[in-house]
Amino acid sequence: MRKETRHKRCTQSCVPYPFETLRRCYVTLFGGVSPDLQAYQVGINREALAGNTELDSLDRVAVGVLGEGRTRPFFMERLYDVAALDDTTPDAMAKSAFGEAVFSVELDRGRRPFDSLREGRLIVLSAVLADPEAEGRGWRLDLLAKALRELRILES
C-alpha cells in the first residue's frame, strides 16, 4: 500500500531514494559534494524529495552513516538544511539523479560522521529532531536539563 501511494505522488519516473525507514527518518546514498550548496545544507533531487519523503525544502535533518554508532547524544547533533535540487543547481543535481544526498564542498571530513564517508555509502537523514512543534517548545534543552538532574549535576 505504501509503495503505491509513493508512486502515485511521483510526477515522472520514480526514483528509489531516499526511502523512509521510520517516521521522518530516511535512508539514501551519499552522492558527493558540490559547490552549488551552502555550508550545512544537504541537497536532494526535488522529484525524489517530493515523491519519497515528507520533507520540504529548508526542513532540518540530522545526518548519520548507516551502521556506525553515534558518538554524541542525539539531541546534540548538528542539523542540516534540506535543499531541493533542480536545474538551478546543475552540479549538485547531477550527483542526486536517484535521490542521493549531496553536501557542500565545505563538508568537514575530519568530523564524525563524515570522516569515513565515501560516495555510494548509505546515510540516514533524520527529521525527528526538526519537528516544528517540538522545536518551538525548547524540548532539546528540557531533555538536557532532565539528564543533568538525573546525573545530579544540576539541582532541581
pLDDT value at position 29? 94
pLDDT value at position 108? 72
Q: Which CATH number fits domain 2-127: 2.40.40.20, 3.30.710.10, 3.40.228.10, 1.10.1370.30?
A: 2.40.40.20
- Mean pLDDT across the chain: 77
Cell numbers representing residue 144 in the block? 538536557
With beta carbons less than 8 A apart as the criterion, state whether 54 and 24 touch.
Answer: yes
Residue at grid coordinates 539523479: 97
Q: How many residues does the structure list for the chain?
A: 156
Query: Which pTM value belongs to this model?
Result: 0.72
Asked whether the predicted pLDDT for residue 126 surpasses 70, the reply is yes
Cβ atoms within 10 A of the Cβ of 7, count? 12
Tens-place pLDDT, residues 85-105: 999 999 999 999 999 999 998
Query: In 3D, which of 76, 18, 54 has the Cα closest to residue 127?
Result: 54
Tens-place pLDDT, residues 49-72: 999 998 888 788 988 887 766 556
Taking residues 121-149, what's their average pLDDT?
Answer: 67
CA-based end-to-end distance of the chain: 48
Tens-place pLDDT, residues 14-26: 678 899 888 888 9
Q: What number of CA atoms fall less than 13 Å from residue 156's CA on the CB side? A: 1
SS3 150: helix
| Domain boundaries of the chain, sorted by first residue | 2-127
With beta carbons less than 8 A apart as the criterion, state whether 144 and 155 touch.
Answer: no
